[in-house]
Structure 1
Amino acid sequence: MDAEKFLNVRVHPKVRYIKLLQWRSLVRIGLLNVVTRIHEHTHLTQQISSLHATILDVKRDLAQLESELEKKKQSSNNSDEYASARSSAFRKKTVSFSSTATSVSYQTAREFMSTDSDVASIKSDNDNASIKSDTDNISIRSSNDTDYFSPDEDDDEFFDLSPANSEGQINGKDESTTEDWGSLSQEDDELTLTEELGAIPSLLCRVDQLLDGTQEQQQNAYNTLKHMESENKQNPQFLWRFAKATRNMAAIASKQGNTVEQKTLIFKAYEHIEKALPLDGNSADIHKWYAILAGARGEYLGVKERVKTGTVFKHHIDLALQLQPQDATLHHLLGRFCYEVSHLSWIERRAAAALFGEVPASSYEEALEHFMAAENYKSTAWKENRLYVAKCYIQLANYKETYTWLQKASVAPIVTPDDEIVQKEIEENLQKYATIPEL
Structure 2
Amino acid sequence: MGKIGSTIGLLLFLSILPFENNAQDINTLLKDAQQLENAFKQPEALQKYLDILRHQPNNLTALVKTSELYSILGKHQHTKDKQKEYYRNARTYAQKALQVNGNSSDANVVMAIAMGRMALASSGEEKIKAVKDIKTYSEKSIHLDPNNFKGYHVLAKWHYEVSDLTSVEKWLVKVAYEALPKASLDDAIKYFEKSRQLNPSFLLNYLELAKAWHRKENDKKAREFLEVMLKMPNKIGEDASIKAKGKKLLEEYK
| TM-score category, normalised to shorter length | 0.7 to 0.9
RMSD: 2.6
- From 298, 310, 317, the counterpart of 2:119: 298
Q: Give the aligned partner of residue 252 of structure 2.
A: 432
What SS does structure 1 have at the residue aligned with 2:238?
Answer: helix
What SS does structure 2 have at the residue aligned with 1:282?
Answer: coil
- In 2, Cα distance between the equivalents of 1:301 and 1:219? 24
CA shift for structure 1 position 295: 2.2
> Which has the higher mean CA deviation after the structures are superposed, 410-419 or 348-357?
348-357
Does residue 99 of structure 2 align to residue 278 of structure 1?
Answer: yes
What SS does structure 2 have at the residue aligned with 1:198?
Answer: helix
Q: How does 1:57-72 map to 2 (within 5 A)?
A: none
Q: Give the aligned partner of residue 392 of structure 1.
A: 212
- In 1, Cα distance between the equivalents of 2:174 and 2:103? 36
- From 57, 79, 84, the counterpart of 1:263: 84
Native 8 Å contact 1:352 1:359 kept in 2 = no
Q: Give the aligned partner of residue 70 of structure 2.
A: 246
Native 8 Å contact 2:134 2:155 kept in 1 = no
Q: How does 1:315-330 map to 2 (within 5 A)?
A: 315-330=136-151
Going from structure 1 to structure 2, the CA distance change for 1:261 and 1:429 (only over 3 Å counts) comes to same
- In 2, Cα distance between the equivalents of 1:291 and 1:269? 10
Native 8 Å contact 1:406 1:426 kept in 2 = yes
- From 384, 393, 408, the counterpart of 2:228: 408
Matching residue's letter, 1:215: F
Larger Rg: 1
After superposition, the C-alpha distances for 1:14-57 in whole angstroms (9 at most, x for unaligned) are xxxxxxxxxxxxxxxxxxxxxxxxxxxxxxxxxxxxxxxxxxxx
Q: Give the aligned partner of residue 36 of structure 2.
A: 210
Q: How does 1:67-146 map to 2 (within 5 A)?
A: none
Does residue 133 of structure 2 align to residue 312 of structure 1?
Answer: yes
Native 8 Å contact 1:277 1:287 kept in 2 = yes
Going from structure 1 to structure 2, the CA distance change for 1:354 and 1:376 (only over 3 Å counts) comes to closer
CA shift for structure 1 position 423: 2.5
After superposition, the C-alpha distances for 1:152-206 in whole angstroms (9 at most, x for unaligned) are xxxxxxxxxxxxxxxxxxxxxxxxxxxxxxxxxxxxxxxxxxx9x6221343245
Going from structure 1 to structure 2, the CA distance change for 1:229 and 1:341 (only over 3 Å counts) comes to same
Moved >6 Å (runs of 4+) = none
Going from structure 1 to structure 2, the CA distance change for 1:316 and 1:376 (only over 3 Å counts) comes to same
Native 8 Å contact 1:219 1:249 kept in 2 = yes
- In 1, Cα distance between the equivalents of 2:252 and 2:73? 32
Q: Give the aligned partner of residue 45 of structure 2.
A: 221
CA shift for structure 1 position 350: 5.2
- From 237, 240, 254, the counterpart of 2:61: 237
- In 1, Cα distance between the equivalents of 2:165 and 2:123? 17
CA shift for structure 1 position 389: 1.4
Does residue 21 of structure 2 align to residue 201 of structure 1?
Answer: no
In structure 1, the gaps of 5 or more residues are 1-134, 136-194, 435-439
After superposition, the C-alpha distances for 1:127-158 in whole angstroms (9 at most, x for unaligned) are xxxxxxxx9xxxxxxxxxxxxxxxxxxxxxxx
In structure 2, the gaps of 5 or more residues are 1-15
- With structure 1 as the length reference, what TM-score do the two structures score? 0.48
What SS does structure 2 have at the residue aligned with 1:215?
Answer: coil
- In 1, Cα distance between the equivalents of 2:43 and 2:218? 40
Native 8 Å contact 2:188 2:212 kept in 1 = yes
Q: Give the aligned partner of residue 422 of structure 1.
A: 242
Does residue 202 of structure 2 align to residue 363 of structure 1?
Answer: no
Matching residue's letter, 2:182: A
Going from structure 1 to structure 2, the CA distance change for 1:323 and 1:353 (only over 3 Å counts) comes to closer
Identity across the alignment (%): 21
After superposition, the C-alpha distances for 1:276-296 in whole angstroms (9 at most, x for unaligned) are 212211111111111111222
CA shift for structure 1 position 320: 0.9
What SS does structure 1 have at the residue aligned with 2:137?
Answer: helix
What SS does structure 1 have at the residue aligned with 2:102?
Answer: coil
Q: Give the aligned partner of residue 10 of structure 2.
A: none
- In 2, Cα distance between the equivalents of 1:299 and 1:433? 23
- With structure 2 as the length reference, what TM-score do the two structures score? 0.79
Native 8 Å contact 2:29 2:52 kept in 1 = no
- In 2, Cα distance between the equivalents of 1:375 and 1:265? 27
- In 2, Cα distance between the equivalents of 1:261 and 1:353? 26
After superposition, the C-alpha distances for 1:270-322 in whole angstroms (9 at most, x for unaligned) are 22222221221111111111111122233444412322221211111111111
Going from structure 1 to structure 2, the CA distance change for 1:323 and 1:202 (only over 3 Å counts) comes to farther
Going from structure 1 to structure 2, the CA distance change for 1:393 and 1:210 (only over 3 Å counts) comes to same
- In 2, Cα distance between the equivalents of 1:329 and 1:418? 15
Matching residue's letter, 2:185: Y
Going from structure 1 to structure 2, the CA distance change for 1:306 and 1:235 (only over 3 Å counts) comes to same
Does residue 114 of structure 2 align to residue 288 of structure 1?
Answer: no
Native 8 Å contact 1:352 1:358 kept in 2 = no
Going from structure 1 to structure 2, the CA distance change for 1:433 and 1:303 (only over 3 Å counts) comes to same
Does residue 203 of structure 2 align to residue 383 of structure 1?
Answer: yes
